[in-house]
């Protein structure tokens, strides 16, 4: 059993959180954190805030809160900033996106939200076609844009007396980009940025800037961003953690729970049809086939990896998987998924599981963003650099070491996360073996 206690720097001082994008997700996180600070709401959905962790044997009864077990930054230590091409404050953004109830959840923290004005964004409509904005940086090339972002980061840190920072992507899905030569090494990337190469989207400019400043970067969208050798090289060089891609919030969350159930029970899969309706800005952006392509790739990959068709050709060698997203304004931010799962059991008899998930996009994403900020900051203080595979739990398409396959099964991801916390703190790994309870 692995039990070596790690050295972890204490979570002292203020932790700056810079969100790329100040829309539905970011404003929901920020308003929520302010409400929680005042005791006006619970951080429901946050494992870091509400979760516990079992230590030792079942009969020991040691089940502390995670935030009492590992040295996380506290809610009160967070300071927020943002970039956005639209110049609405967090207050205006929260009102417009229609996620939170105005009287219960926006007005009580209006003063704090109004103070958050977005810095000019690195934005280019070629990468997100359905959006527009005029709060935008203008520079000669992408390297200079990155320098401007680095300056924003340093300025924010100084102005807010932060001890540490985290940058998190909470903005729209960019168009699909294949990894190419420009992404192979840090040198190639920098050259491409200087040359204004189209293979470098805005998200890479932010990530590059953050990593250069020694600030961890979290990727909440399916964009390629840090999932290329050049960025890993940079993260390892500057010694900072990165993680991504794409918050696993709704339909894919369910998929990574139901597919493992099928595999656990060796039930075959003939087809899985997933459709989504949503009416928010994200839905509008995803009407662009190129943005949808990015999303589709992360959504489709999940089943392949969980079900291992190569190991189980009779069960999973030949299933049909369709994912559709439809922009449907009546839903607003209240995303709705409908999954139709065609399975087969003993002797091949067909059965169906149909799941209708009436969820809320930003409500599901907000606590993931908070947890990732806190855990990535922990990782940084514990000296964990580069890809944080143990945070796969939060992502649709988890980054991982090149020699490995991604882990999509939510419960393996959870075990990995919790056993990593135990390992960091020098506690025994939990294996659920438990034969000792039955021995004389």
Window 388 to 407, contacts with its own copies (CB under 8 A): 389-390, 393, 401, 403-405, 407
Q: Which residues contact 432 (CB under 8 A, 6 or more apart)?
A: none
Number of H helices, E strands in the chain: 15, 10
- Residue 176 binding its own copies, by CB under 8 A: no
Spell out, one character per residue from 114 to 153, where the chain touches its own copies: x when CB under 8 A holds, - when not.
Answer: ----------------------------------------
- Residue 198 binding its own copies, by CB under 8 A: no
**Of the two residues 118 and 337, which places its CB atom closer to its own copies in the complex?**
337
Residue 374 in tokens: 């806190």
Minimum gap (Å) between residue 39 Cβ and its own copies: 12
Which 17-36 residues touch its own copies, going by CB under 8 A?
Answer: 28, 32, 35
**Of the two residues 137 and 335, which places its CB atom closer to its own copies in the complex?**
335
Minimum gap (Å) between residue 191 Cβ and its own copies: 27
Which 331-350 residues touch its own copies, going by CB under 8 A?
Answer: 331, 336, 338, 340, 342, 344-349
Stretch that binds its own copies, among 74-82, 201-209, 289-297, 355-363 (CB under 8 A): 355-363
Out of 1, 39, 140, 178, name the contact with its own copies by CB under 8 A: 1
The answer to whether the beta carbons of residues 391 and 414 sit under 8 Å apart is no
H or E element at residue 49: helix 47-50
DSSP states of 331-386:
GTT--EEEEEEEEE-GGG-EEEEEEEEE--HHHHHHHHHHHHHHHHHHHHHTT--E
- Residue 38 binding its own copies, by CB under 8 A: no
**Of the two residues 137 and 248, which places its CB atom closer to its own copies in the complex?**
248
Q: What is the torsion angle, in degrees rounded to the nearest 10, for the CA atoms of residue 147, residue 150, residue 151 and residue 152?
A: 130
Stretch that binds its own copies, among 37-45, 76-84, 141-149, 295-303 (CB under 8 A): 37-45
- Residue 330 binding its own copies, by CB under 8 A: yes
**Of the two residues 140 and 437, which places its CB atom closer to its own copies in the complex?**
437
Minimum gap (Å) between residue 136 Cβ and its own copies: 30
H or E element at residue 81: strand 78-83
- Residue 70 binding its own copies, by CB under 8 A: no
Minimum gap (Å) between residue 328 Cβ and its own copies: 5
Out of 90, 97, 359, 380, name the contact with its own copies by CB under 8 A: 359
Residues in binding contact with its own copies, number by CB under 8 A: 104
Minimum gap (Å) between residue 382 Cβ and its own copies: 11
Out of 214, 260, 301, 309, name the contact with its own copies by CB under 8 A: 260
Residue 416 in tokens: 């990995």
Which 199-258 residues touch its own copies, going by CB under 8 A?
Answer: 253-254, 257-258
Out of 79, 191, 195, 412, name the contact with its own copies by CB under 8 A: 412
Closest Cα partner for 309 from 254, 261, 347, 269? 269
**Of the two residues 127 and 375, which places its CB atom closer to its own copies in the complex?**
375
Which 47-66 residues touch its own copies, going by CB under 8 A?
Answer: 47, 49-52, 58-59, 63
Q: Which residue has the tokens 């059991």?
A: 345
The answer to whether the beta carbons of residues 253 and 274 sit under 8 Å apart is no
Stretch that binds its own copies, among 128-136, 154-162, 209-217, 410-418 (CB under 8 A): 410-418
Out of 154, 161, 314, 426, name the contact with its own copies by CB under 8 A: 314
Beta bridge partners of 169: 20, 219
Q: Which residues contact 38 (CB under 8 A, 6 or more apart)?
A: 108, 109
**Of the two residues 104 and 160, which places its CB atom closer to its own copies in the complex?**
104
150-157 CB contacts, 8 Å cutoff, 24+ apart: 150/209, 150/212, 150/213, 152/18, 152/83, 152/119, 153/18, 153/209, 153/210, 153/213, 153/215, 154/213, 156/16, 156/18, 156/81, 156/119, 157/16
**Of the two residues 138 and 403, which places its CB atom closer to its own copies in the complex?**
403
- Kindly report the length of the chain: 440
Minimum gap (Å) between residue 192 Cβ and its own copies: 27
**Of the two residues 4 and 138, which places its CB atom closer to its own copies in the complex?**
4
H or E element at residue 270: strand 268-278
> Beta 336-344 vs 350-358: how paired, if at all?
antiparallel
For residues 22 and 91, give the distance between their C-alpha atoms in angstroms, rounded to a whole number: 10
- The backbone torsions φ and ψ at residue 436, rounded to the nearest 5 degrees and listed phi first, read -65, -25
The answer to whether the beta carbons of residues 256 and 410 sit under 8 Å apart is yes
**Of the two residues 10 and 432, which places its CB atom closer to its own copies in the complex?**
432
């Amino acid at each position: 059993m692995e039990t070596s206690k790690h050295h972890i720097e204490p979570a002292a001082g203020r932790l700056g959180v810079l969100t790329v994008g100040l829309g539905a997700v970011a404003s929901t996180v920020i308003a929520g954190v302010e409400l929680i600070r005042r005791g006006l709401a619970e951080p429901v959905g946050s494992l870091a805030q509400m979760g516990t962790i079992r230590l030792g044997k079942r009969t020991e009864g040691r089940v502390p809160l995670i935030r009492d077990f590992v040295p996380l930054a506290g809610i009160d230590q967070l300071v927020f900033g943002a970039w956005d091409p639209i110049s609405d404050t967090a207050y205006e953004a929260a009102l417009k996106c229609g996620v939170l109830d105005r009287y219960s959840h926006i007005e009580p923290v209006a003063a704090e939200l109004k103070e958050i004005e977005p810095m000019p964004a690195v934005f280019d409509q070629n990468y997100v076609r359905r959006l527009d904005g005029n709060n935008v940086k203008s520079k000669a090339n992408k390297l200079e844009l990155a320098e401007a972002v680095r300056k924003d980061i340093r300025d924010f840190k100084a102005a807010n007396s932060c001890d540490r920072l985290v940058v998190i992507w909470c903005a729209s899905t960019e168009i699909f980009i294949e990894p190419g030569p420009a992404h192979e090494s840090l040198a190639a990337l920098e050259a491409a940025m200087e040359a204004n190469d189209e293979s470098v989207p805005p998200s890479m400019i932010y990530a590059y800037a953050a990593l250069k400043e020694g600030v961890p970067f979290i990727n909440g969208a399916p964009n390629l961003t840090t999932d290329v050798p050049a960025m890993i090289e940079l993260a390892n060089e500057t010694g900072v953690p990165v993680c991504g891609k794409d918050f696993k919030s709704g339909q894919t969350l369910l998929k990574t729970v139901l597919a493992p159930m099928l595999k656990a029970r060796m039930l075959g899969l003939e087809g899985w049809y997933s459709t989504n309706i949503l009416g928010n800005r994200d839905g509008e952006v995803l009407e662009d086939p190129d943005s949808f392509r990015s999303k589709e790739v992360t959504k489709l990959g999940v089943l392949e990896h969980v079900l291992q068709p190569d190991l189980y050709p009779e069960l999973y060698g030949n299933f049909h998987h369709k994912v559709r997203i439809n922009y449907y304004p009546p839903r607003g931010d209240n995303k709705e998924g409908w999954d139709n799962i065609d399975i087969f059991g003993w002797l091949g008899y067909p059965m169906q599981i149909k799941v209708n998930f009436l969820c809320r996009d930003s409500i599901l994403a907000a606590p993931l963003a908070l947890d990732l900020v806190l855990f990535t900051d922990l990782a940084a203080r514990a000296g964990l650099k580069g890809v944080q595979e143990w945070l796969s739990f939060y992502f649709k398409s988890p980054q991982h070491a090149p020699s490995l396959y991604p882990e999509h099964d939510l419960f393996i991801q959870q075990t990995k996360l919790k056993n990593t916390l135990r390992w960091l703190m020098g506690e025994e790994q939990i294996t659920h073996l438990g034969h000792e309870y039955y021995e004389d």
